[in-house]
Structure 1
Amino acid sequence: MKRTNTAKWIESAGRWQINVQKDGVRKTFTSAKPGRTGQREANAKADAWLEKGIQNRKQTVAEAYVQYMARQMKISSEGNWKPMQGRYNKWIAPRIGDTRLTSLTEQAVQDILDDAFAAGRSKKTIKNIAGDLRSFFKFCRRSGWTTFEPEELHVPEGARFKERTILQPTDIITLLNVDTTLSRGHRVFDEYIHYYRIAVFTGMRPGELLGLEWGDIESGVARLKRSVNIYGKESRGKNENAPRAVILSARSLEELNAQKVLTGMCQRVFPQVEERNIRRAWYRYCDANGIARCTLYELRHTFVSIAANLPTGQLKQVIGHSQNMDTYGVYAHAINGQDKVIAENIEGIFDAAIAAGESTQQ
């Protein structure tokens, strides 16, 4: 049987208490010990009773993970389960892969996160590993293989988010004024120049730009309806806020018009291209023009950093971070004219950033 809950402190009774049920029988387990020690004791009593019904006491983590990943491959995208499998191979399997589910301890699982921290991994990476572990053990409990739940699993306090590299104002001036790259030692036109510029001017994710169609653009607004991941698979986007309206500034519209002249009226704004090809071309462009390399995703961070002074609501709508936003959100803005205000605000912040870059070059 599985335990999906945890002991709660009952103030009036001065004890920890947990209610569990198995085969129609309901039992209550308690502990009067203070603090987390009492909570763990009450949970342990409940687990001991429930574990009498564990289906397979020899099931190892590796054996269970095969079935867990089979489910993930059915219910999630390749862009989600492939990185998950990679994290398992790198961090989880070497430490607990051969361990039986019924023999696991919280410390053994915590050691996985501590190892990643000691190896210098970012806070985001460690949080992803922790999320994988919680999801995996929930699957195992629901499957009746264990009652194990790592209740105190935590990211080490010293973990830090990875430092982001963004374009500086002088880099943006270069990006605006130079449309060539190096190929075999010769200066040639960079066919993805408008992709780089639009990414910086709009804050769209790499896959969102690849999924953008001309039919999605109307009256100065790009309605993002799809995204193409690094494996070339199309989806509705990274999360529930991904489908949205992006207000296009004058610079963004200018780059889109130039892209239309370059490729014609294909269905996609950037037709027949994979993210990895653009990534290689972008690094080549950076090297050819004296720009410190950053990732395509960090072009989005460049926009967010420059647009930090936008009103919070406007910025969240443009980049798709609002938790309560309508699917496209544009309709409300179209009613009250705020789309024009947002476009002008975006144009203004880039004017200021470019002016700062020009003063630095003088």
Structure 2
Amino acid sequence: MTLLKKYIGRVYMYKNRWKISVQKDGKRKTFYSSTPGNKGQKECAEKAVTWLLSPDKVPLDERTTVDTVYQKYLEEKELETTDTYNIRNRYKNHIKPIIGSIRISRLTRQDMKRVIYTAYTERGLSKKSLKNLRGDLSNFCSYLDDSDIRNDLSTRNIKIPQNAEKGTKRALPAKDIRKVFTCHTTIYCNEEHEDWLINAYRFQIVTGFRPGELMGLEWGDIKENHIEIRRAINAKGKTTRGKNELARRDFPQTKHTRKIIEDQKKYRRNPHNPHERVFGDQGQISYRDRWGIFCKHNGIDYVTPYELRHTFASIYKEFIVGWVLDELMGHFHEGMTLGVYAHRMEGDMKAAPSLLEKYMDAILEDC
């Protein structure tokens, strides 16, 4: 949901005018529109959103540090997106220790280079992580410019070290996938019990869902022929619209997803509540810990929950058309911008359920 759509719903009619009151940093403002109909409602919401997104002047003096301004930048960022968990972590772990105490008036491009090179040499970050870090610094520079604080900083000449390693993507081998589908016990309180998350592990392997998407799945999202992905729950327990705009998608039902969902019904508390979460009120951290214990108990080489998504991709990457696999996983693909004919693409997508079943069957045939 965009910020505009969010606030349109809060606009109401008051004395023949549209009205909305919003608050930012302890300041409350009210906006009006006399334009009739939906146009006026939207106009009123736009006024509020413009004010909410407008950067406030940061009180500056010679002692103001990068940390003071960066914290303000993070507050502004949260008005744009709820997914700031990773941004905050990168700042806390890699940016703040290097430049947080520097006065904002004395910050240089060389200081920002030190952030990248320290993360590379001392922390061993991968090429992708270093690019994300540089992106954070670039966005911060834009914020400084937009806020009339500094307009002479950029990351344009900050290079990613050529020798930075590409992040390795691991996946479960076939023997361990079969173990996930045949084993069902774990250790809890020093005793062996049935793992109440066993269906979640299996479901993630056969769908390639992101961990947050798995956590956010509700019973009302389960349809006869497809599963709707409409939300994710991040590592801090916040519900978001997903990693990107493509994350909201429909995944075709297969015999494997149907079987897992049917098995999961015994854990359902209220069959009349469509908003009950399919795999319980589990958080990502707890889910990761329980998965690790399950792996150790059953002799499975551990991969992270996110790498269960890579496992799905590794099973199908040789057999399913690239753009179809990208859509199933909520990735961007070239067909969105190259004007590929829709009827040919629809034919590829219609074949997806049978292909998903065929190659998963090949993995599980010895189960």
Q: Same fold (TM over 0.5)?
A: yes
Name the structure 2 match of 1:27. Answer: none
User: In the alignment, is the contact (CA less than 8 A) between 1:223 and 1:244 conserved in 2?
Assistant: yes
Name the structure 1 match of 2:279. Answer: 270
Question: Judging changes above 3 Å, is the alpha-carbon distance between structure 1 residues 339 and 162 closer, same or farther for their aligned structure 2 residues?
Answer: closer
What does 1:187-226 align with in structure 2 at a 5 Å threshold? 187-226=192-231
TM, length-normalised to structure 1:
0.75
Q: How much does 1:190 deviate?
A: 0.7
Tell me the distance in 2 between the aligned counterparts of 1:108 and 1:337: 53
Residue 308 of structure 2 corresponds to residue 299 of structure 1: yes
Structure 1 unaligned runs (5+)? 1-54, 327-331
Name the structure 2 match of 1:160. Answer: 165
Q: How much does 1:219 deviate?
A: 2.7
User: In the alignment, is the contact (CA less than 8 A) between 2:65 and 2:102 conserved in 1?
Assistant: yes
Name the structure 1 match of 2:46. Answer: none
User: In the alignment, is the contact (CA less than 8 A) between 2:324 and 2:352 conserved in 1?
Assistant: yes
Question: Judging changes above 3 Å, is the alpha-carbon distance between structure 1 residues 292 and 213 closer, same or farther for their aligned structure 2 residues?
Answer: same
Tell me the distance in 1 between the aligned counterparts of 2:171 and 2:297: 17
Larger radius of gyration: 1
Residue 262 of structure 2 corresponds to residue 257 of structure 1: yes
Of 113, 116, 119, 2:116 maps to: 113
Partner SS state of residue 286, structure 1: helix
User: What is the number of equivalent residue pairs in this alignment?
Assistant: 295
Residue 118 of structure 2 corresponds to residue 101 of structure 1: no
User: In the alignment, is the contact (CA less than 8 A) between 1:317 and 1:325 conserved in 2?
Assistant: no
Of 164, 182, 187, 1:182 maps to: 187
Q: Deviation per CA, 1:276-314, whole angstroms, max 9, x where unpaired? A: 222221111101000111111111111011111211121
Q: Deviation per CA, 1:201-244, whole angstroms, max 9, x where unpaired? A: 00011111222222222232111111111222112111010100
Question: Judging changes above 3 Å, is the alpha-carbon distance between structure 1 residues 183 and 259 closer, same or farther for their aligned structure 2 residues?
Answer: same
Aligned-CA RMSD value: 2.5
Q: How much does 1:189 deviate?
A: 0.8
Q: How much does 1:91 deviate?
A: 2.1
TM, length-normalised to structure 2:
0.74
Tell me the distance in 2 between the aligned counterparts of 1:166 and 1:123: 20
Which letter maps to 2:159? Answer: H
Question: Judging changes above 3 Å, is the alpha-carbon distance between structure 1 residues 340 and 93 closer, same or farther for their aligned structure 2 residues?
Answer: closer
Structure 2 unaligned runs (5+)? 1-58, 337-341
Tell me the distance in 2 between the aligned counterparts of 1:336 and 1:242: 19
Partner SS state of residue 196, structure 2: coil
Of 287, 290, 313, 2:296 maps to: 287
What percentage of aligned pairs have identical amino acids?
Answer: 32
User: In the alignment, is the contact (CA less than 8 A) between 2:184 and 2:195 conserved in 1?
Assistant: yes
What does 1:1-362 align with in structure 2 at a 5 Å threshold? 58=62, 59-77=64-82, 79-80=83-84, 82-119=85-122, 120-147=124-151, 148-263=153-268, 265=271, 266-267=273-274, 268-309=277-318, 310-323=320-333, 340-354=350-364
Question: Judging changes above 3 Å, is the alpha-carbon distance between structure 1 residues 295 and 314 closer, same or farther for their aligned structure 2 residues?
Answer: same
Partner SS state of residue 155, structure 1: coil
